[in-house]
Each structure stands twice: as C-alpha cells, then as structure tokens.
Structure 1
C-alpha cells in the first residue's frame, strides 16, 4: 500500500533565515538541522560563542578550543557563569590558524568538532569530567592560559601531567602514550605527538578525587545517544573507546530518575563538580536508564470539580462563550492568536466537565472560524510556511521580519506558539470528529514541527526541536547567538506544548506513537525541581 507524503505548508522564501553554516560538515546538510540545540552557538555567525557541556564551558575560535571551569556570579537579581580562558588548546605551526571548526557529527548528548588545519578532533560529550582530544597526526600541541602556570609535573611514564595555575585551579592531563611537555609563564608546548589527550579540572584538592580521575582516565566517550526504550523510560547509551569503565556526571534530576533496578551503573556520591544546574555527581556505566513516574493524560481535571461549584462555573462559562467573536480579533500575531484559540478550546472542556453542553456549538464555530484560515493558508496577513533550509515551519510575518511573531521565523518559541494551536485543534477534533479527519494532515504537520522523533534523512523536521535530552527541559531561543548559552524562558508553556501533543494523540488515537506524555512528565519534573521557575 502506497503511503501518501506528509502534508507540507507552502514553501517559505525567507529573507531573515541564515543558510546552514559552513560549520556543519557536508554530510549533515541532507537532514533537517537542530534550531534550539545545546550546541547552537557553534554553528551561528562566527561560531565563537561558548556553550556549556557540564562541567565545562567550551569555546571554539581560530583553530583553538578554549576550556573554562566556570565560577558563578550571583546576586539577588540573577546568576551566571563567568567565562575565563582557563586553557586554550591548539597546535604550533598551524598553516591556517584562522580556519573555522567543522562539526562532523552530533547527537542529543554530544558534538564532534574537527579542526582540519591542525588535525585535532574534540569529542565534546555532555557530562564528561574530561575533555577528550584526538590528535590525528604528529603535531606539536600548544596549551595556553590567561593565568600563570605555577607547576607542570609529569608522572614517571610522562602519560600524566599535573598543571597548577595561579587561580587555584589544578588540571590533570592524560595521554594515550608518552608525551613531552614544557612550559613558560602561560603556555605549555609539546614535542610532536599523535594519540588521545584528556584534560580534567580537579574539583577538589583531596587525593581521592585525583584517584577517581586516574582510575577512569583510559575510557572515553566519543558520542552518546538518547533513546525512548519503554514507556516513561529514557536511556542514555554512550559509544566509548579505550579500556576500563566509563565515568560520567549526572545532574540532580538525573539522580532522581536513575533506575534503582539498573545494577549496571554505580553512583560515586562523593565525587562532585559544581555547576549552575546543581552538583554534578559521578556515575559509572556505559548506559543509564532514566525512569519517570507514569502520568495519565486526561482531557479534564484529575481531581474533578465539586458539584456545589457547578452553578457558578456555568454562569461564568455562559458569559465567556457569549463574548467569543472571531471577527473581533485584531491581532495577527501567531502567539497571541493561538492563545485566544486555546482559551476558547479550554471552555469546551470545562463545559464537558460540568455537563453544560449547550455552549459547545458556539465554541465549535469559534474554533473553526479561527483555526481553519491558518490551516488553509487563507488567514491573509499571516500564516504558516515550510522552511526547507533548516527543516521546519515559519510564519509569513516571521519570514520577512526576524522580530515578528516573537522570532518564530528564526525558530524562537516554536513549541509555545504551536502548543496553543495544537491544543485548540485537539479539542476541536474531539468535539467534531469529521472536522478532525479533514484537517488531520495539517494538524500532524504542526505537531511534527516540535514533536518529530525521526532521524531519517527524508524527515521534514528536526528531532524534538525544543526538548533537551540531557537537561530534560526545553530551549526556546532559536537561531540566535547567546553569549551565555541557550534560554528556556517559560517552563509552563513548554509543559503545555507537550500536554497539547498528548491530547492530540488522544483525539486521533495515536497516543502510543509519540512520547508526548513522557515529555510532559519530564518537563513537569524539571519544573518542580526548579521550584516552578
């Protein structure tokens, strides 16, 4: 049986979207590309703003990789990580020192950065206490710092060096074979070397911390994968090299979700790094299984409504429904318009819950009048388009003005806007099944923009555009460079987006096809962990 192609909105001719940058290796350009990823700074503009790989800030610029073990600046208004060039890794006699890095591969948990002109390859794996560099041919390394180097001392085999700086930091350097290092006041250089170099900040001066890093220095991850294996279960699987066991770091929510029944991992509770996301604790194991509590996604409130409140609710419901008037809406903003749709849809579910169905026809008409023009492309001054450059939906206004629709045209806030649309569509499909069947292709397209799971080259959308598999919450910034990394903005609207996708699953009978209920629960867990920020 021939499967029809998924619906696509008309092609966008954007004047504001950048072309996918030369930072992506050519083989990566055949698939939709991330637009809200943890590594986004590496592929925007000059690619030289830092990103956070826990526990290090990492910056790439001019054939050098800069490593920072950040301290925190805190005051009552805000908190941020201070980027300082603690170690700058490059090579001597680079024939093209101004060359950019190339991202040769990426996953939800890792990035591989290549420096072709210097033959360096960095495996940047989130949560690794080591920075790992593969020196791919015989070159002389340079490791500089803005600090003064107080000490550079090797072990007896010259496969480990202790680096002490005048900012009270101690770094450990491990090599896969003997390496000869020398230093002046702020630069360490090597004789020619090829092989693997690993560098780690010593989180505490105590000998037990150094012993842990020594023990696990020979096994390194080159990438990591995040897989939904079972309902309410997310598995991290690392591709490792070397020998011995793999040491990684877990943030507080990881520790809360790590399966107690998984005896293949062990937690080193006393081995910790500080971070802006809480203490990062050592975990030993090639894979982790994270399990969240099952959540039952329902249309109506879980606890129900007390019957003595029905009359008051119905009175307010009638008043709110009488005020619905699609022709009176003055905004053309995808965000504000979508919120009006979602509010009206909520009235329908309230009416169902209190058993007052007289208002449903009026709500149904309002939802049809407001949603259909967006799905049919007849809204006029705004509407949805498909961007083939990055692989996703943009709006007409956003395609011409990067500030329009809160940056929707450069992939900002997609799950917020579309979450409200999806909520309204799910409710309308519930109360009008025939309408739902007619517009299912467009409904699926909107949901797929932020809920697509596929990694296939023929997919039209990036994989789970906004969700971060390691942080376990969503990002909203889009194709915008930020000196202090991604931004999350509104956790409540992220939760709503995944809840709305779960409701669409209920409306169309596809609840098991998407992990929307799981993302809904993970997002809720993250929000609760952060105190509802």
Structure 2
C-alpha cells in the first residue's frame, strides 16, 4: 500500500485501556514502539511474572528472573487429557548475578530472542531446533543446575574439550557444545564454568542412540538465530532461517510439516531415523535452511458447490421469508453481534442461490443498520477502538472490563469476532457496491487487525495476530497467562474467518486478499484434520485418548483437553459444535472425510437425549449427518425448535439440499 493520504490505513479512535498489561515490562524499548503480538508462541514470556513455560518444540522453556530452565518433557495421558510435564532438566544462569529479569529483544514467526542482561546471556529460541542455543556476550562464569543427579560427565577427549556428555540418573543424556574451549567442573547437581564468552548449544540425545549423537555432532556447528515465514504463492508457505556458523542446518518437522513439505522445490533432506517425541506427534529431522510447504487448494465461493434442485427450493424459500421477517438485533456483545449479522448475510446469499430476490432489500437494510454503527462509532454502549499500547482493535466495553465481549479487549478470539463482521461486510459490499466503496477503509482495518501481512505498509497492526506459522493453525487466548500456553477451541470459526477475508477480497477485487484468506483457510483445515479431528487408528495420540474421543475440546500448546471453556466434556455435542459452526460453503472442505464424519456423528448421537443437549447444538450434529444421510438429517432438522445465534432453519435447509446434488443431476 502506497504511503500517501489516499491510501493511509484507517485507524479507529484511540482508547486508553485500563485492563491491558504493560508491554514495556519485558519487551525491549525499540519493540515497545511497534505493534506487538498478542497470541504468540512466546506470550507467557511477557505476561505477569513471565515465569510460566512455553513449548518451543521439542522443549518446554521457562524463564524466571535471571534463570532459564529447559525441559525435555515427559507425557501423561488419560481418556480425557494429554499433557506434557515440565521438569527443569537444566537451568542456566550466570554465577555472578542472581537478580534482574529477561527482555525480549527480537521475534519472528519461528523464533524469539530472549536476553538476560544481568547474566550476559542471549538465548536464540528457534522453534523446532533440537539444540538450545545461547550466546554469552561477555566473559562470564556460568552455572548449569539440574533437578536430577549427574551420573556421569565427560568430554570428548584430550584433543577437543568443546563437547561434553552429561548423563543423569533418570537415564537422560544431554550433549553440550561450545564454540571455543571451555573449562567445566561439576558436582552431583551443578555444572560450573570459568569465565567464558561465545556460543553454547545444548541438546537432549533421543534414546541415547549413538547414531543420533553422530547427527547432533555433525550439525552442531550451524545454528539459527531467527526464522520467517512468507506466503510466496497461494497455498504455499516458505520458511527461511537466518543462520550463523558453518555447515547445514538441522531442524525438526512435526507431522503436518511432513505432510506438506515439498522436497522437489527446495534443497532439504528428511532424516527419518532422527526423532524427538512431542505432544503433536513425532518430530523428525530435516536438513536445510529453507522449506517449502504446499497444501491442497480450497475453493472459495459465495454459494454451494453443487447448487440446489428446483424441487427443494420452495421449502428453503418458506423458511427464508420467515427468517428475514424476524431479523432483529438485541445485543451489543461483539461476538454475538457478529454471529447475528453473519447469519443475516447468509440469508442474502441463500436468497440468491434459490433465485428469490424479494427478501434481499430487507436483508441489505438490516446489515447496513447493524454494521454502520460499529464502523462509524455511533453504536450505543459499545464500539471498535484502537489500542496503541499493543497495537490493535479492542472494544470500548473491553477497554475497562477484561471479561466483556468474551475478552476481546484483552485480545481474545479476534479472528472469531472480526471474522463474522468480515463475512457480513463482504456480503453487503457484494450486494451494495456503493456501500462497500464508502466503508472499504474501515472494513480493511478490521481485517488487518488479525490478517496484516505487511507491517511496513500498515504499521498499526502486528503480523497475523492469531495464525501460528509453525503450527499452521490459529490460537485464540489473547493476553492471558496460561500454564499450558496458547489455546484453540474452534477450528471452524478460524477457517470461517479466513474464508470470510477471502470473500471480502472477492467483493473488492483484491486478488492478494483472496489468496491470503484462501491459503490460511486451507492450512487451518489441514491442521484441524491433523490434530483436532481424532480418528480411529491414528497414532498421534495415546490409545486411551483416541479410543474415547473423536474431536478435541481445547487444544493447548502443551495439552490436549476434552473440556471446553463453557462447560465440561460430559456432553459430546459441546465439543462438536464449536468445531463445526458456522455452517458455510467452506464447511465442505473442513469435513470432506466422510468416513471420519460418520465416526464423529455416531460418537455424538447417543448423547443427544441427555439433559443439556439443546436444539441449537443438535443442529450442527444433524448438519454433519446430512453429509452421508441426507433424508434422515432433514427430518431431524425440521423438528428443531431453536438454532444457534449464527445459524437458522434456512441455513440448515440450504446445507441439507445442497448435499449430493452434483452426483445425480
């Protein structure tokens, strides 16, 4: 975007939040003046006392005061939860200082640099690195303590004292590599050095395997200091790492990386035998400082892919007339408001698809009357505001109430709330292009809050607020400290948000936005199928968990949970619903595996007669059932007495009657 008045990004009126934490506590002064991440993989490092761990594959890393602790985590599993347990295998600090705190001095998509100035230590925390790399910036005596007992400690021999092997009494073996000679001594629980400056790399040795040790030895000379991700073309992400040292770069790929990694488009080698365990599945060695990840494309369309048979259109029209006549808005909560305007926008597109245009003017008026107050700042009791402290949109209610708008004011769920707004805006811009032109700059500001890819052209928002380029899915937790890191409860709403952004690109003729939204939607779908859809026979998770579950409740960075935020896991429909809503054309791609859908629906159906299984939630079960049993699901949908805020009888009938048409028309 050119830097002139015409193209200057729109910024909503500024507000001073009373509930947001102060980023200057842990970010360096040069970073505080820029928009900062609010849902990052290292978020715990900058919240409260900054002493909760983060999972930086394959290690749990915890920084407190002037110490940094490293854990190769053990894993616990049951039928309801899987988690990795932090145990400080190694804690690194300086012998000369026990005060001070860490500072984040730089961050990228795939790395964060953490400095402990009082200890002269700089840690390059790069995701997927089998080594922890630290730079000792001034001659400093070091202390490395352990929660175990040191069973043996040895160097490689008299010709080189740059590599050390440390064995603990719990059968763990760790390797330490130094860039120059270092003199180390040890007791049963502490390793100390004389004054040292240079680079140290520490790695856990998987299975105490000599072959793995040879690999770690070979690649110990080259270390990454940062890593970025770019979308080079639609449905293609490239990782590039900046390295120091000599030789090739060794990193670790999780299962989704391995599904998408293109070995023919870049010079990488997969080392299948070199593995670390992880809550995300085995991490496998990959050699190369640039990766290309390609996913199958998804089709972004306004309407269903198959269309609706003429004989089914009257039933949809009847419901459509009723749903349009009863349109009303009774909330100022940004999440519920967004769902309701997106629900109304669905009615306009369904009207187009069944060629019943008479209701579209009423929908258009409802959308204009409902959306404009948020964009113009005339909504009573709430509205969008700009927070300069972290650099993003919050709500006026959320500026002094952390619990308002489902935590939107502390950056919870931005892709969910704003995704619904984008969908409604995209549809309104499609059916009323003049309105779309008038409000384009404000619409784009909403989009760029969570989908900004160019921080130079738009310096008001951080890069991709919610999407995690390493995990290839979103996080939703915002600026709240959690012992298990970030979390994600609704893959379908994230998919819908990126799909909605692509539709907005279509409405405005913006091919770059179409490509960005489509690519992130496709990646989110692949991640949902990999980690959230729990399928019989798959081995990412333990058998005791897989046997009992077919879909995740909340996926955390360091935990897999069957509970959801608003209730326990007792009713399975409460887990299916958040990963299914809203029902839109893109839902076909998210639930394209019919065998899995059958497993999922049959797993839930027995619960639908239990107390608490409301009709609003049942509608999503029946929508999925329609994928393989159209008539059975239709009868069940007709019996429903209520629908989710973002759903309607019209929408479910549209979904039902657009299943399978392409097979027999």
TM-score by length of 2: 0.78
Query: Does residue 1:174 correspond to 2:177, yes or no?
Result: yes
Alignment match, 2:602: none
Query: Does residue 1:491 correspond to 2:494, yes or no?
Result: no
Query: Does residue 1:266 correspond to 2:269, yes or no?
Result: yes
Query: Does residue 1:187 correspond to 2:190, yes or no?
Result: yes
Alignment match, 2:211: 208
**What is the deviation of 1:153?**
1.0
**What is the deviation of 1:4?**
4.2
Alignment match, 2:149: 148
Alignment match, 1:475: 475
Alignment match, 1:110: 111
- Contact 2:266 2:291 (C-alpha < 8 Å) held by counterparts: no
CA distance in 2, matches of 1:141, 1:379: 58
Alignment match, 1:34: 37
Alignment match, 1:341: 341
Alignment match, 2:89: 86
Alignment match, 2:438: 438
- Per-residue CA deviation, residues 391-418 of structure 1 (Å, 9 max, x unaligned), is 1100011111000111100101111000
CA distance in 2, matches of 1:205, 1:18: 43
**What is the deviation of 1:387?**
0.7
What residue ranges of structure 1 are gaps of 5+ in the alignment?
none
- Contact 1:394 1:408 (C-alpha < 8 Å) held by counterparts: yes
Alignment match, 2:122: 121
Any idea what SS the aligned residue of 1:515 has? helix
- Contact 1:339 1:420 (C-alpha < 8 Å) held by counterparts: yes
**What is the deviation of 1:117?**
1.0
Alignment match, 1:395: 395
> Which of 60, 65, 68 is residue 62 of structure 1 equivalent to?
65
Moved over 6 A (4+): none
Alignment match, 2:315: 312
Query: Does residue 1:503 correspond to 2:503, yes or no?
Result: yes
- Contact 2:24 2:32 (C-alpha < 8 Å) held by counterparts: no
**What is the deviation of 1:171?**
0.6
Alignment match, 2:586: none
- Contact 1:31 1:457 (C-alpha < 8 Å) held by counterparts: no
CA distance in 2, matches of 1:352, 1:331: 28
Any idea what SS the aligned residue of 2:301 has? coil
**What is the deviation of 1:2?**
4.7
Number of residues of Structure 1 aligned to a counterpart in Structure 2: 528
CA distance in 1, matches of 2:439, 2:226: 40
Name whichever of 14-23 and 367-376 sits farther off.
14-23
Name whichever of 72-81 and 123-132 sits farther off.
72-81
Label 1:401 to 1:473 Cα distance change in 2 as closer, same or farther (>3 A). same
CA distance in 1, matches of 2:298, 2:331: 36
Label 1:387 to 1:257 Cα distance change in 2 as closer, same or farther (>3 A). same
**Alignment map for 1:320-335 (pairs within 5 Å):** 320-325=323-328, 329-335=329-335
**What is the deviation of 1:303?**
2.6
Any idea what SS the aligned residue of 2:207 has? coil
- Contact 1:32 1:457 (C-alpha < 8 Å) held by counterparts: no
Alignment match, 1:241: 244
CA distance in 1, matches of 2:111, 2:172: 26
**What is the deviation of 1:131?**
0.2
What residue ranges of structure 2 are gaps of 5+ in the alignment?
534-550, 553-665
- Contact 1:21 1:44 (C-alpha < 8 Å) held by counterparts: no
Name whichever of 81-90 and 365-374 sits farther off.
365-374
**What is the deviation of 1:330?**
2.5
Alignment match, 2:224: 221
Alignment match, 2:200: 197
Root-mean-square deviation (CA), in Å?
1.3
- Contact 1:30 1:457 (C-alpha < 8 Å) held by counterparts: no
Query: Does residue 1:5 correspond to 2:8, yes or no?
Result: yes
